[in-house]
A and B are shown apart, each in its own frame.
Chain A
Amino acid sequence: MSMKISTTDFKERVDKGIQDSFMRGAVVGAQERMGTRRLDATIELGNWEEWRNHGEEIRKHVLDHLDYYLEQLSENVAKRGGHVFFAQTAEQANEYISGVIKEKNAKKVVKAKSMVTEEIHLNQCLEDAGCEVIETDLGEYILQVDDHDPPSHIVVPALHKNKEQIRDVFSEKLGYKKTEKPEELAWHAREMLRQEYLTADVGITGCNFAVAESGSISLVTNEGNADLVTSLPKTQITVMGMERLVPTFEEMEVLVSLLTRSAVGQKLTSYITVLTGPREEHDVDGPEDFHLVIVDNGRSSILGGEFQSILQCIRCAACINVCPVYRHVGGHSYGSIYSGPIGAVLSPLLGGYDDYKELPYASTLCGACTEVCPVKIPLHELLHKHRQTIVEKEGKAPISEKLAMKAFGLGAASPSLYNLGSKFAPTAMLPFTSGDKISKGVGPLKAWTEIREFPAPNKERFRDWFKNRDKGGEPS
């Protein structure tokens, strides 16, 4: 319940986003690059639609049998000597993890990138308990150094920052003295982080897919940081959303292919790491102690309902990378660590309508997200379902809108009312009409005409022309 990243209201956040020309330039550039790469990678694979169907089938199957596979997973983790904890809430997850940290008397934690730990605000919790927490994914590290700036994208968390801004952050906070060249910046981060891995007591990771048949967890990365996080510290804690698992390695392979191609347009990422339980006698590295924390935090109430398909998500962000709204407002405008179309569907479900009721409306329902989703989540339909829920079940729609829609419904349903209304529209609009257009509308037209011209209603409607023509009148 704590994925919230802002206390300002939606409109303010959007205004701020729109005015941030650096961020917008970075987002447009990233969307173009990732969009092209994604498309090329899907074409190269061939039969993309069949792959998507297969991906959807796997995810649906897992959700329909989630209890079975979760049990299988936890049994297999336990068999290998790992500990499993089911956390119903964010608080329970944080409490358990803090407990392990305390028990180990750990002072320093290194973390690989994990959205679910962002969702439960784990870092804050551990820092409050006096533990030093270091993010090791480069993007996350940059954000952490920059006074915990929240992520604006689920795969590329520092997408909203350009290299000059990153140089400034490093200079100010880390005494960095070199240029804005990405290689130099990355090298500096690498040097800083290397020491941290060696001195950390606990490593915390997320989980791309857990494999039920073996009790393994998998991590898909490009930087190799997750491998250090899981091989150097003595204790490893992996945190996963309760839906992020597959039955066997066969399904994992399909989903990893869909994930890497959809997320970054790569056949495979540089590292795909599969880990099973703690270090065994013959192992040369790995943690002595392994904990798997499976987080519900609202997911089980989505299960079995009309929004269940959102749990098919594999967090590839393809929907974010094609979203025309995200393109202009950026990730922080969503007010949640989950942004873009996936965020607009998921945030109100996990965080409630009070904080996120605007998000389902921040879409033209253009369907670009649905078209690219590798596991075929009907995202734009779910956004529409939210709107219906807000109007019909939650009763959170404004009264004026309700009345207008009721009137519209009546007018549109009755041919005689429609006929009357449309016939007198030109007369009714006359005070606002100049020539063939309306430049200063009132009511719902006001917002339209602040940006664009609105056409004046035709004096002769199409239906009048057609009728006169039928009577033998001259077609105009």
Chain B
Amino acid sequence: MKVTLFATCLVDMFQSNVGKATVELLEHLGCEIDFPTAQVCCGQPSYNSGYVKESKEAMKTMINTFSHAEYIVSPSGSCVAMFHEYEHIFKDDPVWGPKAKELASKSYELTQFIVDVLKIEDVGARFKGKVTYHTSCHMTRLLGVKKAPMVLLSNVRDLEFTELPGKEQCCGFGGTFSVKMAQISEQMVDEKVAHVEETGADYLIGADAGCLMNIGGRIERNLKPIKVLHIAEILNSR
């Protein structure tokens, strides 16, 4: 099966390991990966800040870049949710509306794609360690992907899973919110880190680069002995 990878700008620039793990994992599952180099940012930072007009050009670039794809897969729930949002943003546009709708219909978050499209629940991974999982807001609430990561993690050999208290609570990232409302964001991420610590887990896993950068950055600043990994890295461990 041919999969077109939407790496996301954060993964491309800051978390290339996540991109590599995604490619290797999908290849292991029998997919052929295509990476169109014209891909840019999905436009979410400026769109969510209210700059809708300014964001539309990036969205159009993305729509064109992925128009040939059969399946678009991304290791970030929030960015896929943004692809789905394009459909609403361009709904009154006779030219871009139908194209945006098509893009949304073939865009999947990584774990969602593995479970719902490939119909695989056990990727054959092995990871030794005690982990907890942060359910990102956009992935669960906007994209509606709740079960897929849990199903996949439950089949990872040697992995000890512990549930995160207050898992439905936002980590305080929120894109530009993290800097615009830094004082509030700090309180939110501190509560999240405290919850992670409570679990006694050695690893915090997530499926969204933004949240992981936020929680991970706070964990690192406060020198907590917790490692932060993307779910692709866990599922690609053997």
By the criterion CB–CB under 8 Å, are A444 and B46 in contact? no
Query: Which B residues are CB-close (under 8 A) to A465?
Result: 16, 19-20
With A412-B40, A451-B221, A453-B217: A461-B16 Cβ-Cβ less than 8 Å: yes
Knowing A368-B170, A465-B19 are in contact, say whether A422-B9 is a contact too (CB < 8 A).
yes
Known: A366-B141, A422-B12. A412 touches B183 (CB 8 A): no
Q: How many residues of A contact B (CB 8 A)?
A: 69
Closest A residue to B33 by beta carbon equals A466
* A328-B184 contact, Cβ under 8 Å, with A391-B50, A465-B20: yes
Instruction: Report if B220 contacts A (CB, 8 A).
Output: yes
Does B58 reach chain A (CB closer than 8 Å)? yes
Tell me which of B18, B49, B213 contacts A391 (CB under 8 A): B49
Main secondary structure of the interface of A (DSSP, over half): helix
Residue contact A364 to B37, C-beta cutoff 8 Å: no
Q: What residues of chain A lie closer than 8 Å to B18, measured between beta carbons?
A: 462
Contact A453 B60 (CB under 8 A): no
> Contacts A414-B61, A452-B218, A463-B35 given: A401-B49 contact, CB under 8 Å?
yes
The answer to the question of A271 belonging to the interface, with a C-beta cut-off of 8 Å to chain B, is: no
A451-B189, A461-B16, A462-B16 are contacts. A408–B45 as well, Cβ < 8 Å?
A: yes
Whether A362 is near chain B, meaning CB under 8 Å from some CB there, is yes
- Asked if B50 and A364 make an inter-chain contact with CB atoms under 8 angstroms apart, the answer reads no
Complex formed: what's the CA distance from A392 to B170 in Å?
28
B55 within 8 A of A: yes
Q: In whole Å, how far is A442's beta carbon from the nearest beta carbon of chain B?
A: 12
Interface set, chain A 423-476, CB cutoff 8 A to B = 425, 437, 439, 444-448, 450-458, 460-463, 465-467, 475-476
Chain B residue with the shortest CB-CB distance to A11: B183
Contact of A413 among B58, B137, B183 (CB under 8 A): B58
> Complex Cα distance A367/B135, Å?
13
Shortest distance between the CB of B174 and any CB in chain A (Å): 3
Q: For the complex, give the distance between the alpha carbons of A412 and B184 in Å.
A: 28
Interface set, chain A 367-400, CB cutoff 8 A to B: 367-368, 370-371, 384, 386-392, 397
Does B74 belong to the interface (CB within 8 Å)? no
B221 touches A415 (CB 8 A): no
Q: Which of A11, A389, A401, A460 has the most CB of B within 10 A?
A: A401
Considering the complex, which residues of chain B in the window 179-216 have a beta carbon less than 8 Å from any beta carbon of chain A? 179-189, 191, 213-214, 216
Given contacts A413-B58, A415-B40, contact A448 B217 (CB under 8 A): yes
From residue A439, how far is it (CB to closest CB) to chain B in Å? 8
- Asked if residues A458 and B137 are in contact (CB atoms below 8 Å), the reply is no
Q: Is B220 a contact partner of A453 (Cβ separation < 8 A)? A: yes
Q: How many whole Å from A39's CB to the nearest CB in chain B?
A: 10
The CA of A363 and the CA of B178, in the complex, are separated in Å by 10
Q: Enumerate chain A residues within 8 angstroms of B169, measured Cβ to Cβ.
A: 324, 327, 368
Interface pair A412/B58, CB less than 8 Å apart: yes
Asked if A409 is at the interface (CB within 8 A of a chain B CB), the reply is yes
7 smallest A-B Cβ distances: which pairs?
A: A364-B174, A452-B217, A387-B50, A413-B57, A409-B54, A462-B19, A366-B170
A-B contact pairs, 12 of them (CB 8 A): A363-B177, A364-B173, A365-B175, A390-B50, A408-B46, A415-B37, A415-B65, A422-B12, A455-B15, A458-B16, A462-B16, A462-B20
With A452-B217, A462-B15 given, name 7 new contacts (CB 8 A). A328-B191, A366-B170, A408-B54, A451-B221, A454-B213, A462-B16, A465-B16
